Every structure is written in structure tokens, then in C-alpha cells.
């Protein structure tokens, strides 16, 4: 079934001439029997745009284009100049951003080794182990936890390209709105029940795994207190 892309989520806090730069490059993956590509772009004020090249997409908030652009800039609220050709689109995205807090704790080496071993464990486009790592990475930013996990951990072919890209996005502080809300709340002490329910609704098991990763990070801070 084609993804519903009727809703518009505008990028905000960006000047009309802002240039979006390639952020995480291009990832290729298969979904529902079709091959697709996703590219990631970073703009001003933590605006984050994803572009895909297939209707059969697991990311309904991304912008659909016939091909992956090499360069894109914003010309109006709904106008973009893609590879020097002006195009008008109706699907824009600003993914919420989790800022990095001053360091207050360090992740134990044993925990880092445990998380490294979780890469790619589970089924689906985003395995459970990867979602746990993404939750940890987001909460580590919000809680001020230092760690040695980076893209080299998940970019070695052990997991899907899509899942690796989403972990890289989490490493840089980007997540779905409900997940970002939960990250902000856990940094303040606890996740509100309604926010937890919203995260649990993400994917088949992704939400629960993301929350588990956040709790692992929170435990690091409690141990250091």
C-alpha cells in the first residue's frame, strides 16, 4: 500500500536561501519487495530533511523525489531548487533534535561492549538491538553521558542500511517527535505515561526497544550519582 504523504510538516527556522548539505549520504535498502534509496540532508537550526526514491517506504515523513539529488536549497515554504531545477513539493520534514548536555557520567566499557554486540540482533528493517542502541544514543546526549559508540560500530554490514542510517541520525540527536519528547523527559527525571505510550506505538517493537535503550542510559547516570 502506498505511503500516505498528504500531510505537510514544514521545515522551520530556515532562511529562504538556506542550502541543505548532504548529512549522512545515501543509503540503499529494500522494502515490500521494492528497492529504494534514502538521502539525509542537514540545514540551519537543526532542520533535518530525508528524501526517498520509492513509494514503498518505511518513512512516511520523508520527501519523495524521482531521484536522489546532489544538492538542494529552499526557495520558498514549499519550493526547492534541486540540482539547479526548481521543483514544488508538499512533503517537508523538520525532525526534532536532542541537544548535547554537558558531560556528567561515562558509560562503562562493559556496557559499550554489550551494546556493540547488539548491532543487527532481531528481525525487520530496524532490528531490536539497533533500536536499543538508538535509544541509548539519544538519551546519552540528553543526560550528558560520554561513550565511544560511533558510526564505525553499525556501518560494518552487520545490520540493514536503513537501521544503520537511523542509528547515525540518533547519534547526531535526530529522532521522531515522540521519541525526542521521551528523551527530553527522561533527562528531567521520568517519561510521562502519555509520552511512553506514544513511543510504544512506534513500529512493531521499535518503541519498546528505544525505551529500553533510554533506560540503560539513565541507569548510567544513577550509578554515577
The string of pLDDT tens digits covering residues 74-118 is: 666 556 677 777 776 544 445 567 888 999 999 999 999 999 999
Using CB atoms within 10 A of its CB, is residue 66 exposed (0-12), middle (13-18) or buried (19+)?
Answer: exposed
H and E: helices and strands count for the chain? 7, 9
Do β-strands 63-64 and 48-52 pair in parallel, antiparallel, or remain unpaired? parallel
Does the structure show a pLDDT above 90 at 72? Answer: no
> Among the listed ranges 26-30, 122-126, 183-187, which one has the minimum average pLDDT value?
26-30
Average pLDDT over residues 28-48: 56
Does the structure show a pLDDT above 50 at 14? Answer: no
Instruction: Write down the pLDDT at residue 56.
Output: 58
Instruction: Write down the pLDDT at residue 121.
Output: 95
Of 34, 41, 48, 44, give the one whose Cα is nearest residue 13: 44
Mean pLDDT: which of 57-71, 135-149, 192-206 is highest?
A: 135-149
What is the b/e burial string over 11-43, where b = at least 16 CB atoms within 10 angstroms of the residue's CB?
beebeeebebeebbeebebebeeeebbbbbbeb
Amino acid at each position: 500500500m502506498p505511503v500516505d504523504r498528504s500531510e505537510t510538516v514544514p521545515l522551520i527556522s530556515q532562511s529562504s536561501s538556506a542550502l541543505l548539505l548532504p548529512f549522512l549520504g545515501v543509503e540503499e535498502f529494500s522494502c515490500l519487495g521494492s528497492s529504494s534509496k534514502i538521502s539525509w540532508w542537514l540545514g540551519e537550526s537543526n532542520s533535518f530533511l530525508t528524501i526517498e526514491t520509492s513509494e514503498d517506504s518505511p518513512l512516511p515523513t520523508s520527501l519523495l523525489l524521482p531521484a536522489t539529488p546532489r544538492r538542494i536549497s529552499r526557495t520558498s515554504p514549499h519550493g526547492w531548487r534541486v540540482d539547479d531545477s526548481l521543483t514544488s513539493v508538499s512533503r517537508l520534514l523538520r525532525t526534532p533534535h536532542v541537544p548535547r548536555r554537558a558531560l556528567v557520567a561515562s558509560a562503562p566499557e562493559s556496557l559499550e561492549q554489550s551494546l556493540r554486540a547488539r548491532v543487527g540482533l532481531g528481525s525487520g528493517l530496524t532490528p531490536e538491538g539497533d533500536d536499543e542502541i538508538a535509544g541509548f544514543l539519544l538519551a546519552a546526549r540528553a543526560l550528558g553521558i560520554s561513550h565511544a559508540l560511533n558510526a564505525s560500530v553499525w556501518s560494518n554490514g552487520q545490520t540493514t542500511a536503513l537501521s544503520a542510517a537511523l542509528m547515525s541520525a540518533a547519534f547526531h540527536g535526530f529522532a521522531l517527535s515522540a521519541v525526542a519528547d521521551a528523551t527530553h523527559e527522561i533527562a528531567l527525571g521520568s517519561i510521562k505515561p502519555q509520552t511512553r505510550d506514544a513511543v510504544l506505538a512506534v513500529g512493531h517493537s521499535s518503541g519498546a526497544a528505544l525505551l529500553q535503550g533510554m533506560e540503560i542510559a539513565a541507569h548510567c547516570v544513577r550509578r554515577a550519582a
